[in-house]
Amino acid sequence: MVLLFLVFFCAGSMIYASPVKHETDTALTTSSIFSNSEPQNPDSLTKINPFENTVLLQEVVVEAYNQQRKLVSTPGSLSLIEPGQLFMQPGPGLITSLNNASGLFAHSGTFNTSRITIRGIGARIPYATGRIRAYFDDIPLTNGSGTSIIEYVDPALIQYAEIIKSPATSAYGAGLGGTVLLRSKPVEEYTSLIGNHFHTGAFGMINNTLSLEAATKDLKGRLVHSIGSFDGYRENNAHNRHMIGATGHMKLKNDSQLSAIILLHSMKAFIPSSIDSANYENSPESAAANWLKTKGFEDGTRGLAGLSLKKNLKKNWNLSAGLYTSFSQEHELRPFDMFDEDRMLGGLKLKTSKIVSMPNVDFRFAAGTEIFVEKVQFSNKQNIGGAGTAGNPISTNEELIRSANFFLQGDIDFNKGNVSFGLNFHDSDIHFENNSFVSNAIISGTYNNGFIISPRIGTNLKLVKSHHVFLSLSHGFSPPALSETLNPGGEINPDIKPEKSLNYEAGLRGSLWKSRGWYDITFFVMDVTNLLVAERVGEDAWVGRNAGASLHKGIEAEVLYSFIGSNNQPSSINRFFNALDLKLSATLNNFRFTDFTDLGKDYSGKLIPGIPENIFSATLNVQMIKGAYAGLNYRFVDRMAMNDANTKFTKSYQIADILIGYKLSRRKVNIDFYLNLQNVFNQKYASMILINAPSFGTQTARFYYPGMPFHVNGGIRFMWNYGRTN
């Protein structure tokens, strides 16, 4: 049904578009930006343009915590990746942009090997993002095993991102570390466009994105096609990828709206893997010897689709319903085996809400559910001698994962603030069957998390004119993946418990300097219990167990300032610049094990590995009146422990990138040329590390994924806004 809708849309309109508008007279929105109590009205939009003042965030409305609210009055911590930030970092991935958010740290080993952490959660996941939920609009990017796959969503489909840095509970489930929300273009911003973005650079980087957009009275949508390749800085590091995605919205009768998303992505990526300290220092471009010998790779196809209906009912009732599905097919050639996996997931989301308005106060009630079922089939074969020749089958496996979340939420909005209450009810189970050809045995079992109730309460109070204080208390949890429930014999251990946490946070946010500046400061404490430890017992064999507790304390701060006066106030700078904006972000972490014993060794009091103690970033964006622009992005990353014993640390590093460009606007056509200088200090650093890297036989532990040295890339964007009348 989703596909038919999109085919109908594309065939009927035959209109093309650009994923990014970058002329100065058409601004970019950060969200569906509306007043808290008023119906959605395009006339009330607060615009944000990467070439204009971008710091008036007190007027921006976000959708986190299940309600549309102005950012300044949101009852919890939140970082926003605005359109301007995405525009100023024009590479093919999202990781660099996400790393500008305080509280978030992303490892990036290769394009298909990354790990996003929020407040230290997820740092111990070996090669992927776990313990953190992610959504593309209302479609989950988190599979039944708890792995969130964010990097496969092309930036051309994303308008902005919201990062919730604590369990969202009633809004998006009680994810232990928080939630990453990728948002497509708001309905009100669609127009008639055609665009193309060609990007090329060092080490054989080539990427081309064709974007098509249409806007009629009742039908709006975007179609994006992207194809790219990369030879790689390291040995055995090449990849080829191909993506097609579309979003669409159709206005129906009786004040209803039908929306659809479809995304298909295929990629073959070779895997250099991690290397030891000697190779990291002397030949960082090398691949791990065993992965180079077998020419190891991942070859996969992924897709997702969703269809949702939103309807305003009588007496201030609202209803939203959605169906979604996702699949993945993956083949990996690894030194120790050949691995195949097929996943198919189907789910349902329902939400109903009501507003009751009284003098000086609004009451909002919401209830809903998110239910999905995922079937996973995976198998492996021998890789004879590690040379890439298929041998005998080792095992075939099947999982059936079922998950159900139900939520209740109540919000009270009054003149000087708001209070939000939420409850999440969760139940899930995994049925597993393993057929081992080595032991000639079949093992099966079922793991159930038990019924988990997670509450959340948050409040936001207005102190003075444009300054707010927020407080929240929330409970989060993370169900174990199948591999974390198995004992050494391959049977499910029913005594494994989900990781759980209590989260306390307090913060201040508001505008400064006559609305030229914005600040957001958060203090947080997270108490994690039932800490899950994945002990590596082989090159691809893990055993999980609950091993203790950890305490995460920290401070997050973001400050933005525009040197250009707001509301077109005259200034000497205004004679030369359309925009001159500075953003500063700082994170101070103190994450330690409080009660942690592993294999008889007590690590209590040690730093949690994989997380820098301090992170600082600064971004300066400049737009000249004559069309030239520039961006400077600087990032300092402090040392981080690489093992639980804290006997090995990375070195701190500084990365600086410079973007320069020039745009031409002629009536309905815009052309943008840019050049991007990355790692201008040619800093040697580890862009990803493998926590507690083991050593087998005579091999030394391989901790490091080297970051890329100084390199240059650039591109050209073309956009024809033929739907404009001016």
Model pLDDT, residue 243: 96
Could you tell me if 208 and 199 are in contact, meaning their C-beta atoms sit under 8 angstroms apart? Answer: yes
Contacts of 474 (CB under 8 A, 6+ apart): 76, 166, 167, 169, 174, 454, 455, 456, 457, 458, 502, 503
The answer as to whether 532 is a domain residue is yes
Torsion angle defined by CA atoms of residues 44, 48, 54 and 56, in that order, rounded to the nearest 10 degrees = 10
Using the structure block, give the residue that is written with the tokens 């159709």.
Answer: 250
Percentage of the residues of the chain whose pLDDT score is greater than 70: 88
| Separation of alpha carbons 258 and 5, rounded Å | 10
Could you tell me if 312 and 353 are in contact, meaning their C-beta atoms sit under 8 angstroms apart? Answer: no
Torsion angle defined by CA atoms of residues 688, 693, 697 and 699, in that order, rounded to the nearest 10 degrees = 30
Model pLDDT, residue 8: 33
pLDDT category at 56 given cuts 50, 70, 90 is low
The two structure tokens encoding residue 261:
């998303």
The answer as to whether 537 is a domain residue is yes
Closest CA to 703 of 647, 644, 643: 643
| Separation of alpha carbons 388 and 382, rounded Å | 9
Decide if pLDDT at 12 tops 50.
Answer: no
Contacts of 147 (CB under 8 A, 6+ apart): 128, 129, 130, 481
| Separation of alpha carbons 683 and 709, rounded Å | 7
CA atoms within 13 A on the CB side of 208: 2
Distance of CA 579 to the CA centre of its chain: 28
Model pLDDT, residue 34: 24
| Separation of alpha carbons 353 and 368, rounded Å | 9
Model pLDDT, residue 583: 93
Torsion angle defined by CA atoms of residues 92, 96, 98 and 99, in that order, rounded to the nearest 10 degrees = 170
Cα radius of gyration rounded to whole Å, the chain: 25
Identify the bridge partners of residue 453 per DSSP, sorted by sequence position.
Answer: 425
| Separation of alpha carbons 315 and 317, rounded Å | 6
Model pLDDT, residue 156: 87
pLDDT category at 332 given cuts 50, 70, 90 is very high
| Separation of alpha carbons 41 and 29, rounded Å | 13
Model pLDDT, residue 93: 78
pLDDT category at 316 given cuts 50, 70, 90 is confident
| Separation of alpha carbons 536 and 693, rounded Å | 9
The answer as to whether 725 is a domain residue is no
pLDDT, tens digit, for every residue of 689-700?
999 988 766 789
pLDDT category at 565 given cuts 50, 70, 90 is low
Based on the structure, what is the number of domains in the chain? Answer: 1
pLDDT, tens digit, for every residue of 440-465?
999 999 999 889 999 999 999 999 88
Average pLDDT over residues 464-468: 90
Q: DSSP H helical segments within 295-425, as ranges?
A: none
The answer as to whether 577 is a domain residue is yes
* Sequence letter at residue 38: E
pLDDT, tens digit, for every residue of 134-157?
999 989 999 999 999 888 888 888
Model pLDDT, residue 14: 31
Model pLDDT, residue 167: 87
Percentage of the residues of the chain whose pLDDT score is greater than 90: 66
Least confident stretch, 16-30, 124-138, 431-445: 16-30
The helix (run of H) or strand (run of E) holding residue 83 is helix 83-88
| Separation of alpha carbons 440 and 183, rounded Å | 48
Could you tell me if 200 and 486 are in contact, meaning their C-beta atoms sit under 8 angstroms apart? Answer: no
Query: What is the residue-averaged pLDDT of the chain?
Result: 86
Contacts of 352 (CB under 8 A, 6+ apart): 317, 318, 319, 320, 366, 367, 368
| Separation of alpha carbons 602 and 411, rounded Å | 44
Decide if pLDDT at 528 tops 70.
Answer: yes
| Torsion angles phi and psi, residue 47, rounded to 5 | -85, 150
Residue-range definition of the domain harbouring residue 437: 2-720
Decide if pLDDT at 484 tops 70.
Answer: yes
| Separation of alpha carbons 180 and 119, rounded Å | 13
Decide if pLDDT at 9 tops 70.
Answer: no
Domain harbouring 161, CATH code: 2.40.170.20
The helix (run of H) or strand (run of E) holding residue 84 is helix 83-88
Model pLDDT, residue 22: 30
Contacts of 442 (CB under 8 A, 6+ apart): 433, 434, 435, 436
Q: Given CA atoms 82, 169, 481, 599 in this order, what sign does their dihedral have? A: positive
* 3-class DSSP state of 95: helix
Closest CA to 566 of 68, 46, 26, 23: 46
Torsion angle defined by CA atoms of residues 211, 715, 227 and 190, in that order, rounded to the nearest 10 degrees = -20
Model pLDDT, residue 535: 64
Model pLDDT, residue 262: 96
pLDDT higher for 261 or 13?
A: 261
Decide if pLDDT at 369 tops 90.
Answer: yes
The answer as to whether 726 is a domain residue is no
pLDDT category at 537 given cuts 50, 70, 90 is low
Model pLDDT, residue 147: 92
Model pLDDT, residue 68: 87
Average pLDDT over residues 88-100: 80
The two structure tokens encoding residue 164:
């919730």
The answer as to whether 380 is a domain residue is yes
